[in-house]
Amino acid sequence: MAALSEEVLLVVKRVRQRKQDGTLYLMAERIAWGPEGKDRFTVSHLYADIRQKISPDGKAKIQLQLVLHTGESTNFHFSNESTALRDRDAAKDLLQQLLPKFKKRANKELEEKNRMLQEDPVLFQLYKDLVVSQVISAEEFWANRLSLNNVDHSASNNKQEVGISAAFLADIRPQTDGCNGLRYNLTSDIIESIFRTYPAVKQKYAENVPHNLTEKEFWTRFFQSHYFHRDRISTGLQDIFSECAKQDEKGLRSMVVQGVKNPLVDLLSLEDKTLDEGYGSNSMAPSTSSANKTVKENSNSAIIKRFNHHSAMVLAAGAGKKACLTMKCAGPNWGCASETSSTDGNSRDSDFFQPPVKKVKIQEAIEYEDLHMENGKKTVALNLKKSDRYSHGPVPLLPQQYTTSQDIINSVNCIQQEIANYKPCLTQVMSSSTASSAIAALSPGGLLMQAGSQQAINQMVPSDVQGELKHLYTAAGELLRHFWSCFPVNTPFLEEKVVKMKSNLERFQMTKLRPFQEKIQRQYLSTNLTGHLEDMFQMAYNKFHAWQTRQMLRKT
Amino acid sequence: MKLNIEGLLVYFPYDYIYPEQYSYMLELKRTLDAKGHGVLEMPSGTGKTISLLSLIVAYQRAYPLEVTKLIYCSRTVPEIEKVVEELRKLMEYYSKEAGEKNNFLALALSSRKNLCVHPEVSSLRFGKEVDGKCHSLTASYIRAQRHSNPSLPSCRFYEEFDALGRQVPLPAGVYNLDDLKDFGRRKGWCPYYLARYSIVHANIIVYSYHYLLDPKIADLVSKELAKKSVVVFDEAHNIDNVCIDSMSVNITRRTLDRSQANVETLQSTILKIKETDAAKLKEEYRRLVEGLKEANVARETDIYMSNPVLPDEVLQEAVPGSIRTAEHFVGFMKRFLEYLKARLRIHHVVQESAPQFLKDISEKVCIDRKPLRFCAERLRSLLRTLEIADIADFSAITLISNFATLVSTYSKGFTIIIEPFEDRTPTIANPVLHFSCMDPSIAIKPVFERFQSVIITSGTLSPLDIYPRILDFHPVTTASFTMTLARTCLCPLVCNLRNPQHGAFWEGGEGPVIRNYGNLLLEMSAIVPDGIVAFFTSYIYMENIVASWYEQGILENVQRNKLIFIETPDAAETSMALEKYQEACENGRGAILLSVARGKVSEGIDFVHHFGRAVIMFGVPYVYTQSRILKARLEYLRDQFQIRENDFLTFDAMRHAAQCVGRAIRGKTDYGLMIFADKRYARADKRGKLPRWIQEHLTDGSLNLTIDETVQLSKHFLRQMAQPFKQEDQLGLSLLTLEQLQSEEMLQKIAQIAHQV
């Protein structure tokens, strides 16, 4: 295991564990200890498994105790007299830094496991049957469950991204350095904010740093640019940020062109009928053409635009990746965006998916909640992963064979003809006594129906035994699933596992199934309730033996 | 709930009712009983629309012969759709309670842009383009041409509708715009024409003001509506401006140039037609001799609503001989255009009345009043005869002809102002002729005269007596309703900031005021949760303030608390900002929207609940008083209606201020701060013009506050409001069950809610 290249963060020599001298290694993901003179670790714990570390101070021995989640603990004794305390503190400090990182993960996993057990009584029973009774280990039990679950809950497990402060630019307080200069203090957080809010700047950064500019120069130019100072009108082309401003402009415009989804805030469609050109008293409002605008006015409206854009970008950056993606769609090439997102406001195709939003918004707007009787309890929303499955039921994957109506008519005709031509062959009928005895034998409780009397089990077996049987079935099913999932056995790991699983099965049969069988035998003599279970086990054993013999053959 | 409103059984589709709704219905019923007009002010968010609809529908059912139709006019498309949805709710309640399906037909009507289903036409972006394209496919002569030449494009929806749509009336039900479109698509009929056809027999029509008030549209759409209708103007606080806008005309040099081009096209078309189809022109001539008799007969027999652009005298006479032939008319128009061009070649401002203008024109180019009056009608006839496809191209000449008719018809109520340049840019020549309507009653007069009951209602109509005066009608009911509240969910505060001088801004003497404004905003941004909306008095003013705030670093500090979004003159940009603003309020970041009073946001967008926890009104939104048109209007108001200039200006400013601050409160469960950041609001003349439901909560303790005091009071208010507020808290006070409503004591209380003027 040490062969894998791992980053070793700290090596402490002369650490004793169980009265043996050795070396303690702190690595990126685990802590390990190997006895002196050997090249493998006898102790190795993942940080994630460590619940806490205790470093008792007052004791004569300088020790570090690690307590694991499983309850086990490991003691390390720092035995180098001169530096023991320092060594211990170094290890302790490093652990202190590392543990919280992994703790979160560990906790989350634990929580997740806990939650699953609480939510699913069947699973809990299974856990009791298999893990608590030590048929299989907890790791094995969780091995393929958690991974399953991680996929399902990936959405909820995603940690929420932290948004961006709207005033992050304001937080960069320039300080005068005394000789006609300004100092800006940038932190990585601020840079991150700038990049997230203004992707164009990030792009520029990627393009220019470090081949054209140093990082420092880049930011110096950034702060000098009109781009940063929103009220300045673009001055020249030499500024690398003039392009950014243009891109922003484009982004803003495309956002505008995209239109709004909520029809109630769409000012464009607010008016039903605008007055024709030339009518109205205010149509000659101060002309807004830029021709006769002063520079000041232009810069003022630039500020306003920038504020809107800035706020929109901050909002989008905070809304997470998904929104960022749509923002990108809204970028220069939004025209070829996916069909659902291109709700280009002007195309009337949008009608087809406009009504729902509109309806909902209008309904919200006309609703007077307090005029209604408060009706009953709130219902819990059903969270469906596949809603089509819910509404249609399971659909067979194969295309069904349809019979045309002509076929049906034809076959009906056929049957009719057959019936019309039916002539009972009276010489070959059974005698009535044989017939009735056959019917009797085939009726429930009859001679031939005894073996398969399924419903009888309800009445024959008391419910607690039934429950126990159910648990046995689920537990056995789980074990068998583990067993069968090892095939085809093509890795050494699986090989190991299949052997282990086989022994697990045997152990289960001995510790669980047998006592149960004996118990029923004591109470109910005739019925063989566990026959099927036995069969299943037998199947597994057969398979295992077959595999084993083949394995032997191959080896010899 | 089933209510008994003075003997009328009213179905109300909710389990509870606000006391003021009951009171409102009571007043409304009395108005309808008296067959008169009414002015009703009720705060927004108290369920005005549903009260109106419930009562009028009940009235229609009880007295089907007295009230045959409800015409509900609202301002914006979303408003229209909301009304129809509320109506749908009511109708569903009816069919649930009464068991039977009632055979009401209710529908919304909107412009082609919102109703067209033709794949190509509807993809056009602007309403005007859609109208033009539609016209080019469906105009009668185009369709006639298609008989001889089937390869011409057509609109299959219109053809289908024309062939089948008129035979069977639209089945009963409630049709919103989308329902009409669905129906149209399903049947293959044009929803727009279907709706226009159906409004004649519909029980309830919901459409925008213009369909009744703008004579150009009203004449096409609404003139055949039954006399026994109830007309409701909702959100009517700006109705006078709508009236004025619909009758005012502005003529620029560009208009004249385009008209010139139009006239030339007309001339060449006439020549062409003369060679090929002279009979057509002769036929037109004959028709014009007959005069506009048909229209006259219809109007006299009470089928048509009169049209202020089509005065009665015009109908009784034949078109005067001087413009009867097509060439003569074109020549006439040319002469008129030349005259207008000459008038625009001036270097100083001219203001004159319509008679002065007529006198001048007759002296200079010998154009009489009489042919001028027929201009609009004559042009329409000519365009029809010449089979001109794209009417939109001829908008300029149509405008000129409308101006000619108006100027020669009305000697009073209009003024002509010719300005050689804009005030702000005296060096750039940009002559404009404003033909400006000063009397809103001219456009609305036919409505009051024709329809039995006209209800003018809004959340902000104070002072109530001014509307009957400026619209020149006599209401039988004038009432203002307060909002009954279980908790005081609105908190108007007047901050004692000094008012800035508009002009002084440029000299930089406004620094302290702007800084104070900024401090107020900054402080509020720190204590108010979610959304804040701030209104400025004008766009330019806001631009300057934003720039100063930016320089002073105030905005940076505000950004620490909230995101900032700013209204721009561009509607699309503002829409986006609005949506982002809502998104920011929604996800908990909180945002500030800087906006402009009288702007589109202040008129059409609601900031319910967390979208607007505080509104700050910076300054008093006076209209720009230097405008000559406004001065003329003020003069007219003083002379005609004895309304003093200052009264009107204050009234106008306060109704806009009330509109702005009222945006935040949209219901009793909602709450919001209303901060008037100008000490002038504390004066009695301003305060007294706020709606009663705001005034009531404006105590002496909330006047003349410093910024600190404002912040303290706001904090207190917000903390109180953040407590849970349940239905039980309201019940019996501001929310009533049927039993509570019927108690004697409550009925007495309700009687006090309506404040008669």
Residue A323: its pLDDT value, please? Answer: 43
For β-strands B69-74 and B614-618, DSSP reports them as: unpaired
B592 — pLDDT class (breaks 50, 70, 90): very high
Whether residues B123 and A277 touch (CB distance < 8 A) is answered with: no
Distance CA B232, CA B531 (A): 33
Q: Which of A257, A276, A318 sits opposite B395 (nearest CB)?
A: A276
Number of helices followed by number of strands (H, E) in chain A: 19, 9
Say whether pLDDT at A303 is over 90: no
Say whether pLDDT at B1 is over 60: yes
**Distance from the A191 Cα atom to the nearest Cα atom in chain B, whole angstroms:** 17
Contacts of B608 in chain A (CB under 8 A): 365
Q: Are B53 and B90 in contact (CB under 8 A)?
A: yes
If you average pLDDT over residues A175-190, what whole number do you get?
Answer: 72
- List, in sequence order, every residue forming a beta bridge with B8; answer none if it has no partner: B5
If you average pLDDT over residues A83-96, what whole number do you get?
Answer: 80
Instruction: Tell me the average pLDDT of chain B.
Output: 87
**Distance from the B347 Cα atom to the nearest Cα atom in chain A, whole angstroms:** 19
Cα B185 → chain centroid: 30
Whether residues A365 and B584 touch (CB distance < 8 A) is answered with: no
Contact residues, B window 409-468, toward A, CB-based 8 Å cutoff: 422, 424-425, 428, 430, 432, 434, 436-437
Distance CA B165, CA B188 (A): 9
Give residues with Cβ within 8 angstroms of A365, minimum separation 6: A264, B78, B82, B606, B608
Q: Which of B161-170, B181-190, B407-416, B461-470 has the lowest mean pLDDT?
A: B161-170
Contact residues, B window 660-699, toward A, CB-based 8 Å cutoff: 667-669
Cβ of residue A366 closer than 8 Å to a chain B Cβ? yes
Contacts of B80 in chain A (CB under 8 A): 272
For B41-64, write each residue's pLDDT tens digit: 998 888 899 999 999 999 999 998
Contact residues, B window 705-744, toward A, CB-based 8 Å cutoff: 727, 730, 735
Cβ of residue A285 closer than 8 Å to a chain B Cβ? no
If you average pLDDT over residues B737-754, what whole number do you get?
Answer: 84
Measured CA to CA in angstroms, residue A508 lies from A117, A120, A472, A530, B581 at distances of 21, 22, 9, 13, 63
Q: Which of A256, A304, A312 sits opposite B546 (nearest CB)?
A: A304
Which one of B399, B549, B566 makes the best mutation probe of the A interface by having the most chain A beta carbons within 10 Å?
Answer: B566
Which one of B17, B252, B550, B741 makes the best mutation probe of the A interface by having the most chain A beta carbons within 10 Å?
Answer: B550
Q: Which of B47, B255, B437 sits opposite A371 (nearest CB)?
A: B47
Distance CA B549, CA B543 (A): 10
- List, in sequence order, every residue forming a beta bridge with B481; answer none if it has no partner: B754
Residue B41: its pLDDT value, please? Answer: 92
Q: Which of B86, B566, B572 sits opposite A268 (nearest CB)?
A: B572
- List, in sequence order, every residue forming a beta bridge with B17; answer none if it has no partner: B736
Contacts of B178 in chain A (CB under 8 A): 355, 358-359
Distance CA B630, CA B417 (A): 11
Residue B56: its pLDDT value, please? Answer: 94
Query: What order of strands is seen across the sheet that includes strand B249-252?
Result: B249-252, B429-437, B414-421, B350-352
Say whether pLDDT at B348 is over 60: yes
Give residues with Cβ within 8 angstroms of B232, minimum separation 6: B52, B56, B70, B71, B72, B73, B454, B455, B457
For B285-340, write each residue's pLDDT tens digit: 887 777 666 666 666 666 666 777 766 666 777 778 888 888 899 999 999 999 99
Contact residues, A window 164-223, toward B, CB-based 8 Å cutoff: 165-167, 169-170
DSSP type of residue B66? T
Most confident of A175-179, A189-193, B734-738: B734-738
Counted across chains A and B, CB pairs separated by less than 8 A come out at 244
Whether residues B123 and A346 touch (CB distance < 8 A) is answered with: yes
Q: Which of A165, A279, A366 sits opposite B246 (nearest CB)?
A: A279
**Distance from the B682 Cα atom to the nearest Cα atom in chain A, whole angstroms:** 30
**Which residue does chain A place closest to B567, by CA atoms?**
A304
Cβ of residue B54 closer than 8 Å to a chain A Cβ? no
> Treating both helix axes as pointing N-terminal to C-terminal, what angle do B511-527 and B554-561 enclose, rounded to 10 degrees?
10
Cβ of residue B17 closer than 8 Å to a chain A Cβ? yes
Backbone angles phi, psi at B593, to 5 degrees: -115, 120
Q: Which of A402-416, B9-23, B31-45, B406-420 has the lowest mean pLDDT?
A: A402-416
- List, in sequence order, every residue forming a beta bridge with A8; answer none if it has no partner: A27
Residue A345: its pLDDT value, please? Answer: 38
**Which residue does chain A place closest to B241, by CA atoms?**
A281
Indicate the SS3 state at residue A429.
coil
Which run of H or E residues covers position B738? helix B738-742
Distance CA A272, CA B111 (A): 6
Whether residues B14 and A368 touch (CB distance < 8 A) is answered with: yes
Whether residues A311 and B591 touch (CB distance < 8 A) is answered with: yes
Cβ of residue B18 closer than 8 Å to a chain A Cβ? yes
Percent of chain B clearing pLDDT 90 (strictly above):
40
Q: Which of B573, B587, B606 sits opposite A308 (nearest CB)?
A: B573
Q: What is the Cα Rg of chain A in Å?
A: 38
Cβ of residue B47 closer than 8 Å to a chain A Cβ? yes
Contacts of A352 in chain B (CB under 8 A): none
Cβ of residue B565 closer than 8 Å to a chain A Cβ? yes
For B593-636, write each residue's pLDDT tens digit: 999 998 889 888 889 889 999 999 998 998 887 788 889 999 99
ipTM (interface pTM): 0.85
Contacts of A311 in chain B (CB under 8 A): 563-565, 577, 580, 584, 591
Instruction: Tell me the average pLDDT of chain A.
Output: 73
Residue A397: its pLDDT value, please? Answer: 56
A31 — pLDDT class (breaks 50, 70, 90): confident
Which one of B49, B250, B541 makes the best mutation probe of the A interface by having the most chain A beta carbons within 10 Å?
Answer: B250
Which one of B48, B507, B589 makes the best mutation probe of the A interface by having the most chain A beta carbons within 10 Å?
Answer: B589
Which residue, B333, B502, B490, is CA-closest to B403? B333
Whether residues B127 and A274 touch (CB distance < 8 A) is answered with: yes
Say whether pLDDT at B37 is over 80: yes
Cβ of residue B111 closer than 8 Å to a chain A Cβ? yes
A341 — pLDDT class (breaks 50, 70, 90): very low
Whether residues A278 and B560 touch (CB distance < 8 A) is answered with: no
First to last CA, chain B: 30
For A100-115, write each residue's pLDDT tens digit: 777 666 667 777 778 7
**Distance from the A293 Cα atom to the nearest Cα atom in chain B, whole angstroms:** 10
Which run of H or E residues covers position B106? strand B105-108
Distance CA B250, CA B551 (A): 40
Q: Which of A269, A278, A318 sits opposite B249 (nearest CB)?
A: A278
Contacts 24+ apart (CB under 8 A), B345-352: B345/B431, B346/B418, B346/B420, B346/B431, B347/B420, B348/B420, B349/B417, B349/B418, B349/B419, B349/B420, B349/B628, B350/B416, B350/B417, B350/B418, B351/B415, B351/B416, B351/B417, B351/B418, B351/B628, B351/B632, B352/B415, B352/B416
For A140-157, write each residue's pLDDT tens digit: 777 766 555 554 444 444
Cβ of residue A257 closer than 8 Å to a chain B Cβ? yes
Say whether pLDDT at A63 is over 50: yes
Percent of chain A clearing pLDDT 70 (strictly above):
69
Contacts of A229 in chain B (CB under 8 A): none
For A346-364, write each residue's pLDDT tens digit: 334 444 445 577 888 888 8
Contact residues, A window 14-73, toward B, CB-based 8 Å cutoff: none
Residue B661: its pLDDT value, please? Answer: 92
**Which residue does chain A place closest to B124, by CA atoms?**
A346
Q: What is the DSSP string of B596-654?
A: ETTSHHHHH----GGG-SEEEEES-----TT-HHHHHHHHHHHHHH---HHHHHHHHHH
A286 — pLDDT class (breaks 50, 70, 90): very low
Which run of H or E residues covers position A45? strand A43-46
Instruction: Please report where in the chains the tokens 């007495």 appear, as a residue.
Output: B748
Q: Which of B16, B123, B568 sits opposite A348 (nearest CB)?
A: B123
Cβ of residue A249 closer than 8 Å to a chain B Cβ? no
Instruction: Please report where in the chains the tokens 């929420």 appear, as a residue.
Output: A160
Whether residues A370 and B582 touch (CB distance < 8 A) is answered with: no
Q: Which of A256, A263, A372 sits opposite B576 (nearest CB)?
A: A256
Measured CA to CA in angstroms, residue B162 lies from B114, B154, B390 at distances of 20, 12, 21
Most confident of A68-82, A271-285, B151-165, B575-589: B575-589
**Which residue does chain A place closest to B211, by CA atoms?**
A273
Give residues with Cβ within 8 angstroms of B120, minimum separation 6: B133
Q: Are B494 and B676 in contact (CB under 8 A)?
A: yes
**Distance from the A167 Cα atom to the nearest Cα atom in chain B, whole angstroms:** 5
